[in-house]
Amino acid sequence: MMSAEREIRQLQKAKDKAQRGGNLPEEAALCNQLGEILASHGRYEEALEEHRQELRLLEAAGDGIGCAVAHRKIGERLAEMENYEAALKHQRQHLELARSLSDDTEQQRAWATIGRTYMFMAESRAPGGDTEAAGGDTEAAGGDTAALREAERAFRTSLAIVEEKLEGSVSRRELTEMRTRLYLNLALVYDSLRDAAKCEHYMKKSIFLAE
């Protein structure tokens, strides 16, 4: 099995070659791969720079959906670094680009990603987390209520797109995986909101689909 360092070096070498040849899409794809592997080894700052470079290249190439995905990747890296407000800014740009291009699959992904970021934000604001909610009146036992409600709304919007718009345009397996993840995420949100009945309802749905 190839070591991470060796794989990074090989990708960097291929990226330099694409850059010399002026192949913007190829260079952007290699930035994406480098960003993913660096992030998987906790090197978020370096990964973030790769995705920012990816975005610049795709903007120059005029690739709208590529730019949307690059914004999602930048948002994911920022969320991993616990910079949630900046993450949400890029994730909303992902959503707006997907909307402008009428890409339902990317809109579904955008809402799911936004939901996860709000969920992480709520966890960080929970008692014992990094920050406390302002004034304390939005503090819930399982995290920040306002952020959890935003997560709930985002996951439900994502689920509505799956139910109403993606049937027939993506494979049945992919649809099932999307539903399974969204049901699980909703179960986790309701668990944090201390809503046992809804948590159990969505957890059962997720487990049923997963099996």
CA distance 79 to 40: 14
CA distance 70 to 189: 27
Q: Which residues, 6 or more positions from 16, have their beta carbon under 8 angstroms from its beta carbon?
A: none
Last residue of a domain, one of 102, 128, 149: 102
Exposure on the CB side of residue 37, measured as CA atoms within 13 A:
16
Do 94 and 195 sit in the same domain of this protein?
no
Give me the torsion for CA of 87, 93, 98, 101, rounded to 10°: -160
Do 96 and 129 sit in the same domain of this protein?
no
Give the count of domains, the chain. Answer: 2
At residue 3, the pLDDT reads: 84
- Are 94 and 110 in contact by the 8 Å Cβ rule? The answer is yes
- Are 51 and 31 in contact by the 8 Å Cβ rule? The answer is yes
Tens-of-pLDDT digits for all 211 residues of the chain? Answer: 568 899 999 999 999 999 999 999 999 999 999 999 999 999 999 999 999 999 999 999 999 999 999 999 999 999 999 999 999 999 999 999 999 999 999 999 999 999 999 999 999 987 655 443 333 333 444 458 999 999 999 999 999 999 999 988 899 999 999 999 999 999 999 999 999 999 999 999 999 999 8
At residue 137, the pLDDT reads: 38
Q: Which residues, 6 or more positions from 151, have their beta carbon under 8 angstroms from its beta carbon?
A: 115, 116, 118, 119, 122, 185, 189
Do 111 and 61 sit in the same domain of this protein?
no
Do 97 and 118 sit in the same domain of this protein?
no
Do 116 and 200 sit in the same domain of this protein?
yes
Last residue of a domain, one of 102, 126, 158: 102
pTM of the model as a whole: 0.88
46 is in which domain, residue-wise? 1-102
